[in-house]
Structure 1
Amino acid sequence: MKNSQLTYFNLIIVHVIIGFVIYLLPFLAKLYTVFVFIFGVMYMLRTKNKNNEALLICGYIVGVEVFLRMTEGNPIHELSKYLVIVFLFFGMIYKGFSKNSYIYIVFLLLLIPGIIIGANELSFDTNLRKAIAFNISGPVCLAIASLYCYQRVVTKEQLFKMFVFIGLPILSMTIYLFLFTPSNKEIFISTQSNFSASGGFGPNQVSTSLGLGMFVFFVLALLYSNTKKMIIINLVIFVLVSYRGILTFSRGGVITGVAMIVFLVLILFYYSGPKVKSKLLTIILFSVIGGGLLWSYSVYKTNGMIEYRYANKDARGRDKEDRLGGREAIAGTEISAFKENPIFGIGVGKNAEYREEIIGHKVSSHNEITRMLADHGSLGLLGLLILFITPISLYFGNKQNIFLISFFVFWALTINHAAMRTAAPAFIYALSLLKVKFVDEETPVVHREPAV
């Protein structure tokens, strides 16, 4: 265990250094991307996915995605989704997948008519490949990840490693953000999403990644730290990640991270004995006090603007009429498109052009639910029902996956404010389908049913 803690501490130091180095030498972000890919390939070939190493590789890709986009390390915008698909596909070649996961093959098939319609309906001025890939890569990534994860047995040790792999690159991004934009009061003059405090990148995506990081380091501190030193280290990182998440002024990611933590604590409290409940109450008390102090400091550093932001007020403290930053209008056009084309929808990628005709702005969707309805019609509705019902039904058969509800909440909340622009919601959703066994290393792991 000491060696494990030492390795973890060393990895933290390495990823702090990565954040510093990429800030000083931005071109190294491209080399970082190459390194992640080569490491993933070599790791997969060496281990042959014996202990679900595919999940670890994809966890790291999900954690590093926004950082690489922010620093222009990704040569292709959707690269992380493609890599998740590739590595999990090869993971299934090595280890198979559950024969009962066919429901996600059905989900994939439901996407095909919308792709065909989009390919035929998009205007000549539109880049066909980019328009379709931008909108369909997320659902396809989710389907492949779900095929891999459906009732696949993982142990608590494998989960711990996966949380570490997700969290480390988010730590690098957090360090980069502190260097790129110190929390000077001068940059907080409005209540709009703050690009300056988000590394010059989209606050929505940065907030989503940091919100996931909040949950990861809270879990590491609460469940996977066996010494006071490790608890303190993980809690310090948790506070740093949370603080930078707040400073993005993008509420979705932070609220999602908090919601994930709340659901996890409630589940632990419900299933725990009296002694553990007493410890959880202490943790809850200190968390509330610590959260209050962090929020107060954030209010001070942002000239009170962050308080206005979460209260949906402008910089003068006046209530805003638009509560979701224009997203209601975007979602409204997609509902209209669904009503006009209720069977097969208007086609993948077409909704931006349709929206330009209605409101005069060619903007992308922020809501995956309304986008699925607009692009795929009733087939999209059926696909959404599959996605919502399946994880919940599995929960009653595998309550040892104490993270299931939190994973599901991350997906459900994220697709409502950031659609599936990153690989995170697709991958994290799939993790809710895992069959978790909290067993000792000496105890034989119960194997899942035969794979195909």
Structure 2
Amino acid sequence: MKNKLFTYTNVIVLHVLIAFAVFALPFLSKIYGLIIPFLGTVLVLNTKNKNNEALLVAGYVIGSEVFLRMTGGNIAHEIAKYEVIYFLFLGMLFKGFSYKSIIYILFMLLLLPGIYLGANVLGHEIDVRKAILFNVLGEITLFVSALYCFEKKITLEQIHFLLKALSLPIVSVLTYLFLYNPSIKDVVTSTQSNFETSGGFGPNQVSTILGLGMFCFFALLVLFSKTRNLQMIHLTLLIIASFRGIVTFSRGGVFTALAMIAVLIGVLYWYANAKTKNLILILSVCAVLIGGFVWTYSVVQTSGMIENRYANKDARGREKEDRLGGREQIANTEIQMFMENPIWGIGVGKNKEYREQMTGIVAASHNEITRLLAEHGMFGIMALLILLITPLITYFTNREHVFLLPFFIFWLLTINHAAMRLAAPGFIYALTLLKVRFKDESPSAVSGEPTE
């Protein structure tokens, strides 16, 4: 165990050092961005994806996406989505996929009319290929991830390693944020989302990945920290991620993390015995106390501005009319587009152009649900129903998957405030479809032979 802890601790330290190196020499970010797919490919090919290494590498890509974006390490803006698609396809070459995942093939087929329509109605001044790909690449990432994950047998211990793969690059994000902006007090002057406290990058996306980190560190603390040292490591990372998430002044990621943690505690409590339920109640009280400490510290560091932000007030404490930073107006225009074109929708990529004509607002969608309705019409509704219903149906025969509902919550809440700008929502959604067992009881595991 000591050896395992030492190795894991060293890997955490390595990710701290990566952030220091990139901050000092920014060009190293591009090298880091190239090393990930190279080493990931070597790992999957060498192991033949015996223990779902493709899933672990894809998880690491998800965790590193924001870090590479904020430091200019991506050779293309959407490269993380392409890498997730690539690694999971590579994994399926060794592991295959379940024929039952055909429901997600239907999901993609439902999007084709909107893609065809968009290709024919977009203005001549617009790059049609880029406009369409920008809007459907998130769904394609979800589709490939779902194909890989649907009823894929995986142990709780493998979920443990997946959470680590997701969270390790977030350690680099946290380190870089402190290097970029060591003093919160010096840069907070209003209640708007703050680029300075977000490493100079989009606060919404930084908040989203930090929220995911909050959940991962909490789950690792509660379920997978068997020693006092591991408990202290994960508790410290949870506190830091919570603080930095709050001071981005982008609320979506923090609210999502809190919802995921609450749901996980609820699921654990529901299935626990009487003795364990008492421990969970104590844990919940401790979580509230820690949350109160982090919140109080954040209020002090922001001179009370963060309190106004979450109360939907401006810097002077006056109530704002717009609760979601302009997102309501964008979503309302998309609902109007759907009402005007309820069957076929207006076509993929058209909503930004259409909105500008309607209102003069130049903005991409922040809500994947209203975008699906606007661009795909009734086909978007059917596609959305597939996404909503399928994981909930599988839950009844997959009760050991204690992370199913928290992962589902992450996808649902994230696509409502950040659409699918990141690869994370599509990938995390697919994790709800895994067939989780507490132990690997396959004959090959017992005999020591390679598992499927």
Normalised to the residue count of structure 1, the TM-score between the two structures is 0.97
| 1:2 Cα deviation after fit | 2.8
Counterpart of 1:40, as a letter, is: G
Calculate percent identity across the aligned residue pairs: 57
Does 2:68 align with 1:68? yes
| 1:128 Cα deviation after fit | 1.7
Aligned-residue Cα RMSD (Å) equals 1.3
2:450 counterpart residue number: none
Does 2:270 align with 1:279? no
CA contact (8 A) 2:184 2:197 kept: no
Structure 1 stretch displaced more, 261-270 or 181-190: 181-190
Counterpart of 1:238, as a letter, is: L
Distance 2:3 2:438 in 1: 22
Distance 1:219 1:445 in 2: 26
Counterpart of 2:68, as a letter, is: L
1:388 counterpart residue number: 388
CA contact (8 A) 1:190 1:305 kept: yes
| 1:4 Cα deviation after fit | 2.1
CA contact (8 A) 1:212 1:257 kept: yes
1:114 counterpart residue number: 114
Does 2:422 align with 1:400? no
Distance 2:88 2:2 in 1: 31
- Distance change (3 Å), C-alpha of 1:387 and 1:440: closer
1:449 counterpart residue number: none
Distance 2:172 2:20 in 1: 8
Distance 2:58 2:177 in 1: 23
Distance 1:343 1:2 in 2: 61
| 1:184 Cα deviation after fit | 3.0
1:191 counterpart residue number: 191
| 1:131 Cα deviation after fit | 1.1
Distance 1:13 1:362 in 2: 43
SS at match of 2:362: coil
Deviations 1:95-138 (A, max 9, x none): 11111110000001111111111111111111222211111000
1:211 counterpart residue number: 211
SS at match of 1:187: coil
2:374 counterpart residue number: 374
Deviations 1:229-262 (A, max 9, x none): 1001111011111111001000000110111011
Q: Which runs of 5+ in 1 are unaligned?
A: 447-452
- Distance change (3 Å), C-alpha of 1:253 and 1:105: same
Counterpart of 1:234, as a letter, is: H
Distance 2:246 2:33 in 1: 27
| 1:186 Cα deviation after fit | 2.4
CA contact (8 A) 1:437 1:445 kept: no
CA contact (8 A) 2:341 2:377 kept: yes
Counterpart of 1:24, as a letter, is: A
SS at match of 2:436: strand
Counterpart of 1:42, as a letter, is: V
2:435 counterpart residue number: 435
Distance 1:302 1:334 in 2: 35
Counterpart of 1:319, as a letter, is: E
Structure 1 stretch displaced more, 278-287 or 384-393: 278-287
2:176 counterpart residue number: 176
Does 2:133 align with 1:133? yes
Normalised to the residue count of structure 2, the TM-score between the two structures is 0.97
- Distance change (3 Å), C-alpha of 1:326 and 1:185: same
Does 2:36 align with 1:36? yes
